[in-house]
Structure 1
Amino acid sequence: MIVLGYNGFTRGAEIFGRLFEATGVARNLLVGHDASAALVVDGELVAAVEEERLSRVKKTSDFPAHAIQWCLDFAGVPLDQVDVVAFPWRFSPEVADEMIAQVASGGQSPAEKFDVLRRAGEFYTDMVSREAIHDDFVQRTGHELDPNKLVLVPHHLAHLTCGAYLAGGGDAAFLVSDGRAETLSSVMGEVRDGVVRVFDDSTIPMTSSLGVAYGRITRYLGFVPNNDEYKVMGLAAYGPSPRRNPLLERCVRLHENGTYTISIPMGVTAYYALFDDLFDGDSEKREDFDFRVKVAAMAQHMVEAVTAHQVRALTAASGLDTLLFEGGLALNCVANTKMLERSSFTGMEVSFGASDPGVAIGAAVYTAGLRNRPADAATTPYLGPSYDEPHILEALEEYADRVEWQEEADVEAVTERTARLLSEKNVVAWFQGRTEYGPRALGNRSILANPAFPEIKDIINIRVKHREPFRPFAPVVLESEAPRVFDLGKKTSSPYMTFVFPVREEYRERIPGACHVDGTARVQTVDDRQNPVLARLLRAFTDRTGVPCLLNTSFNVAGEPIVCSPRDALECLLATEIDHLVIDRFVITKKSG
């Protein structure tokens, strides 16, 4: 059985921009962002890639034509041989009735209700109805898809299935929390013997979305909502946890069964006024670093308090030992660690596809009927394109007037050469094998550096990434070495940068470049099975320097997707102050002069 999962809408940006003013700084506040495709063949996830990596439009919501075609080409599967097409949104007639009822029971005037219904009707008819999704697929692929082969999977179920499958199956409690699904923003429950049970009395409606609330504060602080929330998380570490939090006092109410109500007005002018009142702010103060730190700390504290409230209720209702956490909120790695350590759960899993890239995988896996991975299967995020030597040489020849290169004999030689470069104050772009899936660079499309140099963070932020100087970087470390350097608490590994751990006191001065201001680090652990080439590089680097980890950040500059192809990598090298680029066995530098 061959199942193609995908996420994205041709007209999503146009419809949301026209009907809901989702343009400019609000451009990512729409259904279908993080467009992507995934392919399951005979029970195996064989390929997945985000559309942005191929189209080079960051966080695009467009129909993923390039991603779909690449997945099919990689597997050698023509579109007419695909048995089922799975889509991770299901605006069923029942959901439509619920949307209408919510508008009808609201407190607006009749004229305002009719306006909301008009816009909701156009959104439904032209974009998310089964007919619109089917027609979009046919028009963009040119393939006359049998309507019976289109399966619509509820959004939160797609999130959950992605996480459960990548965690290896097994019984687990789950929490899914994001900006919005069809009508809800968060659900919890448990998976037992492959059967999903949602705790219906603990669901959170879209009107009280924690993700949306955090996004509004993100915008208030001058960032892009549904895109820059990690910047708010990073800023929060510069200040202490607030003794009192007006967000929790005035905007959030916690109820039984882990539910809550968040009351923040919808309009930008209205919620800016509310936040100015809560935080004693104004347009001038919003530019002040200390003020932004104070607000960010309160936003982060709100997330931690609300999710802890949910986890307490989930623990009482389930009694299982393992927690699966998926959805956009699961990218808040600071909150993740606290959720686990302060709960009675003995284990917690957050997948590399936790945010919306994962729903293409989840829809495909669910529709294929996969409940568990084979026990000996290696979970890998390296599911995207790779490039053989002729492709690499073709790209190098194209840029031969601006770069020069040396080919090393084998993997051992290139890792030794790279370790030698990294032992000095060099910034090295590292390009190997298949592209990672999801928002984190996990060692195949990464920028690496030596964390022993305190100034290396500023060098990369300002001269390479072209981004804010307060942004931290993650260390990548051999899984066997991680407990010696970091306090992992209940975790034994963290392969996807989804948890934050304290750096042990004796190592803080040895790896200052990988320590955030609060003495923590968002760790990626690696072993020989997950990424043998990166593991070899780490051993060579540690043997040469005595430094137990490398600094790892995504191979891109601010505002651009992570690089995918050799040409992308060469363009990024030439546009920044990266010192060296390693593609496969080729070590590349810019020509002087």
Structure 2
Amino acid sequence: MIILGCNGFSRSAEMFAEHYGAVGTEKHYLLGHDAGAALLVDGELVAAVEEERLNRQKKTSDFPINSIRWVLDHAGIDFGDVDLIAIPWNFDAKVFDSTLGELASIPMPPMEKLVRLNHIGMVFATVLGHDAILADFAARTGFTPDPAKVVFVPHHFAHAMTGYYMAGVKDAAFLISDGRAELLSSLTGEIRDGRIRVFEDSFVTANDSLGNLYSCVTRFLGFVPNNDEYKVMGLAGFGEPPSPNPFLEHFVELHEGGRYTMVLPNDLENPRQFEPLIEKHFGPAEATIEYQSRVAAAVQEMVTVVTRHQVAALETRTDLDHLLVEGGVALNCVNNTELLEGSRFSDVSVSFGASDTGVAIGATVFAWVNHPANTAEVKYAPSVTPYLGPEYDDAEVERALGEFADRVEWTARLTDDEVVDQVAQLLTGKVVIGWFEGRIEHGPRALGHRSILANPNFPDIKDIINKRVKHREPFRPFAPLVMEHDAPRVFEMGRKIRSPYMTFVFPVRPEFREVIPGAVHVDGTSRVQTVTTEQTPRLAALLQRFTTLTDVPCLINTSFNVAGEPIVCSPTDALNCFLSTEIDHLVLGNRLVAKRVAGA
């Protein structure tokens, strides 16, 4: 059975701009962001890619036409071979009726209700409704799908199945939390043998979204909502939350069963609704690290308290000992670590596609598991790889290099061992290296195939990368790569034994803080990526060779891009980024690339 999953809408950005003012930095704040496609063949994930990697528009919400074409081409099939199309949204009649009923109950002037009704109707009719999605698919692909072969998967179910498929376990409890799905922002439940059971009394409505409140704070601090939340998380390390915490006292109220409500309901028409309340309790906004870190630390503590409240309730409802955490809130890796250490669960899994980057994958898995014609045993995929996107052969690398021959020079093709040896030698110095190999990784984190690498032994290397390469805020930390077997020696891992997707944060052991200062955040922690020879053979070999030369057990790993742009995908993307920054060297497949010296 072949299942194509796709997330994205042709008119999403246009309609939300027209009806909700979602323009500029607000453009991808709402629904359809992180567009992409995935292909599942007989239960095996064979390809997945985010549309932004191909159309080069960060966080794009557009219909994933390039992604769909690529995953089909990669598998050597066309639309006629596809058995099911899975959509990770289900805005059906029930959702529409519930939305209208909620609007009718809001106390506001009739004319304002009519305006809002028009907005809702237009978005449903032209973007989110089943007929609109089918028409969009036909218009953009030239293929008219049979409605009977299209599965509309509730958004949070797609999140849950993404985590389930990646975790490689038979049974697991789950917590899903994000900005909003069809009607909800969070829920909990169980998956047993691939079948989802939701604890309905744990529902948190979209009006009470923890994710949206965190995004409101992101916007209030001057960053891009639904994109820069990790900046707020990083800032939190510079400060301490006030006691009592205003967010816990005046913004959110906890209820029985793990539920919670916000003091103000989420309002698509007024995304800045919380800002007066923030200023009331924290004072007028200031563009200072002291002010921003105090607000960030307070909202970070709120996330931890609220999600612990949810997990505590979930523990009483399930006898399972493995927890999946998925949805946009799951990208809060500081919180993920605290959830595990504060719970009875033996392990917590957060996938590389925990945000909406992964829902096209989860939708395919849900459609496959639940299809009546599928009699195959559910597959669990502990060895699933994030390296699911396009790769480029030697001929394509050579062609790209030829186009830049007036600005770069490169070695003859090196063996993998030669690449490892030469790059490890370079990394003993204070250099920054672009690392490009194999299939591009899926998800928001660079995981070693499209990465920028550096030696964390230099205390100022973080400032060099932020200023000269990434062109971003100086407070931003960097993640260390470490061999999985070395990780507990360098970091206080607690109950975790691995963190392959940078989804957990751990304290650096005191004896290593001066060994890897460039990868240690101000609060003494690091967002760790553990690697193994099985997962990433050449990267692991590089790390091991570097450690032999330096006695430094880690490398800095950050995404191969500059602020505001997607991670590079093609050799041409990599060369453009290399030449527009102060990256010192570029590994492009099996060639080592340098910039030509002017006049040479």
Shorter-chain TM band:
over 0.9
Residue of structure 2 equivalent to 1:27 = 27
SS in 1 for 2:261: strand
Deviations 1:82-134 (A, max 9, x none): 11111000011111111111111112222222222111111111111111000
1:424 matched to 2:429? The reply is yes
CA distance in 1 between counterparts of 2:486 and 2:351 reads 22
Distance 2:165 2:178 in 1: 19
Please point out which of 281, 284, 290 is paired with 1:281: 284
2:69, 2:381 → 1: CA distance? 30
Deviations 1:317-355 (A, max 9, x none): 113211000000000000000011011111000000000
Residue type of the alignment partner of 2:128: V
**Secondary structure of 1:80's aligned partner:** helix
Distance in 1 (CA, whole Å) between partners of 2:541 and 2:512 is 22
Write the distance in 2 (CA, Å) between the matches of 1:192 and 1:85.
24
Whichever residue aligns with residue 426 of structure 1, its letter is V
Asked if the contact 1:449/1:551 (under 8 Å) is kept, the reply is yes
Map of 1:572-587 to 2, 5 A cutoff? Answer: 572-587=577-592
Aligned partner of residue 48 in structure 1, secondary structure: strand
Contact in 1 for aligned 2:39/2:47 (Cα 8 Å): yes
Where does residue 590 of structure 1 map in the other structure? 595
- Work out the CA distance in 2 between the residues paired with 1:58 and 1:25: 11
Q: Which amino acid aligns with 2:519?
A: A
Letter aligned with residue 145 of structure 1: P
Give the superposition deviation at 1:533. 1.0
- Note if contact 1:72-1:78 (Cα within 8 Å) is conserved in structure 2: yes
Could you tell me which residue of structure 2 aligns to residue 484 of structure 1? 489
How far does residue 227 in structure 1 lie from its aligned partner after superposition?
Answer: 0.6
C-alpha displacement at 1:268, in angstroms?
A: 4.8
Within a 5 Å distance, the mapping from 1:60-139 to structure 2 comes to 60-139=60-139
Q: Is the 8 A contact 2:240 2:293 kept in 1?
A: no
What residue number does 1:233 align with? 233
Q: Which residue of 2 aligns with 1:39?
A: 39
The residue type paired with residue 149 of structure 1 is: K
Cα distance in structure 2, aligned partners of 1:549 and 1:436: 20
Offset, 1:80: 1.7
Cα distance between partner residues in 1 of 2:210 and 2:271: 17
2:292 is the alignment partner of 1:272: no
CA contact 2:587–2:593 (8 Å) conserved in 1:
yes
Residues 264 and 105 (structure 1), Cα distance of their counterparts in 2 relative to 1, 3 Å cut: closer
Per-residue deviation, 1:241 = 3.8
RMSD (Å) for aligned C-alpha atoms: 1.3
Q: 1:379 to 1:268 in 2, by over 3 A?
A: closer
- Which segment is superposed worse, 103-112 or 5-14? 103-112
* Matched letter for residue 281 of structure 2: L
Residues 1:348 and 2:352 aligned together: no
Residue 305 of structure 1 aligns with an amino acid whose one-letter code is: V
The whole-number CA distance in structure 1 between the counterparts of 2:381 and 2:245 is 47
Q: Residues 487 and 165 from structure 1, CA distance in 2 versus in 1: closer, same or farther, beyond 3 angstroms?
A: same
Amino acid at match of 1:279: F
Deviation of 1:270 after TM superposition, in Å, equals: 4.0
1:202 Cα deviation after fit: 0.8
Shift of 1:198: 0.6
SS at match of 2:482: strand
Q: Is the 8 A contact 1:176 1:187 kept in 2?
A: yes
AA aligned to 1:177 is S
Instruction: Report % sequence identity.
Output: 56
Residue 398 (str. 1) matches residue 428 (str. 2): no
Residue aligning to 1:516: 521
TM-score (norm 2): 0.97
> Residue 526 of structure 2: SS of its match in structure 1?
strand
**Partners of 2:271 and 2:163 in 1: CA distance:** 34
- Show CA shifts across 1:286-336 (max 9, x none): x12211111111111111111111111111111321100000000000000
8 Å CA contact retained: 1:218, 1:228: yes
1:475-501 Cα offsets, whole Å, 9 max, x none, are 011101111000110100000000000
Instruction: Work out whether residues 242 and 301 of structure 1, in 8 Å CA contact, stay in contact via their aligned partners in 2.
Output: no
**Which 4+ runs in 1 deviate beyond 4 A?**
370-377
Contact preservation (8 Å) 2:193, 2:378: no
Secondary structure class of the residue paired with 1:368: helix
Q: Which amino acid aligns with 1:570?
A: L
CA 1:377–1:244 in structure 2 vs 1: closer, same or farther (change >3 Å)? closer
Structure 1 SS opposite 2:411: strand
Distance 2:144 2:49 in 1: 24
CA distance in 1, matches of 2:195, 2:292: 44
The within-5 A match list for 1:18-417 is 18-264=18-264, 266=267, 267-268=270-271, 270-282=273-285, 285=286, 287-369=287-369, 374=379, 378-417=383-422
Q: Is the partner of 1:492 in helix, strand or coil?
A: coil
Q: Post-superposition shift, 1:273? A: 1.7
CA contact (8 A) 1:177 1:330 kept: yes
How many residue pairs align between the two structures?
590
Alpha-carbon separation, structure 2, partners of 1:320 and 1:366: 21
1:451 to 2:456 alignment: yes
1:274 aligned partner, one-letter code: L
